[in-house]
Amino acid sequence: MSKFIKLSVIIMSICLAAACCGCGPPIYQIYFDQLFYDDQDVLVLGYRAFENNPDNITKFAKLNTDTYKWEASNVAKKVIADEEIITAKGKTIVKNGDGAVVFEQPIPSISDIESQTDISLPSPKAFYEYFRSGKDYRWDRKTIIANVGINKEVTGDYYDFTKINSFLFEYDEINSLWNIRHLRQLTPHSALYYGGSVHSSNSEISNISSISRQKLFVNSNISLCQSWMGKDTLEGIYDDSIKCLVKYENGEVSLQKLYGEIMPAEYSATIKKIYDSTDFPRVYFDKNQNLYAFYNDTDEANGKYFYFEMYKPDQPTVAQHKQKIYWD
């Protein structure tokens, strides 16, 4: 059985890089948006070049668990049953690789949220994020996270909110209704940028400077880990107050602390070091709590390769394995 977690790209980093294209030489980089187990329970990485990749090709590498080296692989394409999910006209719509609709269902409205939670949401704007199922890279259509900004003000391409509330929607098939649970409220410290009309897990939801959202796990369960940054907190994903939504195989969804409850607290110092000292990094965890860090060095590598480091729970601050992974 294929187990898959697709991790959203750090859109904000890309936007910042792209915004400076007129300021100097172009920045060449590679980014890493997929990490999953294939049908042989081998970890697979998907990565793409940001520039000089007109066909938007994704390449794959498998992890050799004897050497902890990533080796080029074409097999990964065969185990991915790709689906696309969008939120449009108040509905969740899932399409298969051929573009045919395989699932369509209304999602809760703002009125539904207000009536179930007794939370007032004046002048709202909602953004949605979906869980992946653990089987064959398909969407979990019963679990949705909605981030709702209130008291919306629009300035060009930016939205400003006085509050952002996060809700969990879980679909009850027996009673044919959505159960809505309030997760958290925060006060943004800066504006939210959104540049598209379709809200999905691949949309600019990752581009919220006040909610830096990361999917950090690759394991037998589906875990959506969220880094919450309010006006008084700018620590990013290494903040030890991070909460993770973890969905277990029995369907239970639990909000837990990332560092201290789920992961060794010592990892927070390692992640802070990685994010403070490298370009466009991504950090993932496997099912054994090993930490995988991928990052660019745009000055040196110039889009020709990127770096991999692996850390283990018993030595969370010392890299056990390192590698350059080349695009060509």
Q: What is the pLDDT of residues 278-317, one digit of tens each?
A: 888 888 888 888 999 999 988 888 889 999 999 999 999 9
**Lowest mean pLDDT segment, chosen from 105-109, 188-192, 263-267:** 188-192
| CA dist., res. 56 & res. 200, Å (int) | 19
pLDDT of residue 235: 52
Q: What is the pLDDT of residues 9-30, one digit of tens each?
A: 222 233 333 334 445 566 789 9
Q: What angle do CA 201, 207, 208 make, to 5 degrees?
A: 105
Structure tokens at 149: 């900004």
Q: What is the pTM of this model?
A: 0.75
DSSP string, 10-79: -HHHHHHHHHTTTTSSPPP-EEEEEEEE-TTS-EEEEEEESSS-TT-PPEEEEEETTTTEEEEESTHHHH
Q: What is the pLDDT of residues 204-257, one digit of tens each?
A: 333 333 344 566 777 767 778 776 554 444 455 666 777 788 888 788 888 888
Q: Map tokens 């996060």 to a residue.
A: 166
Structure tokens at 176: 């044919």
Residue type for 15, please? C
Domain ranges of the chain: 1-80+269-328, 81-207
Q: What is the pLDDT of residues 66-123, one digit of tens each?
A: 999 999 988 766 666 678 888 888 899 999 878 899 999 999 999 999 999 999 999 9
Helix ranges restricted to H, the chain: 11-19, 76-79, 110-117, 267-277, 298-301
Region class of 89: left (phi > 0), else alpha (psi between -120 and 50), else beta: left
| CA dist., res. 250 & res. 83, Å (int) | 23
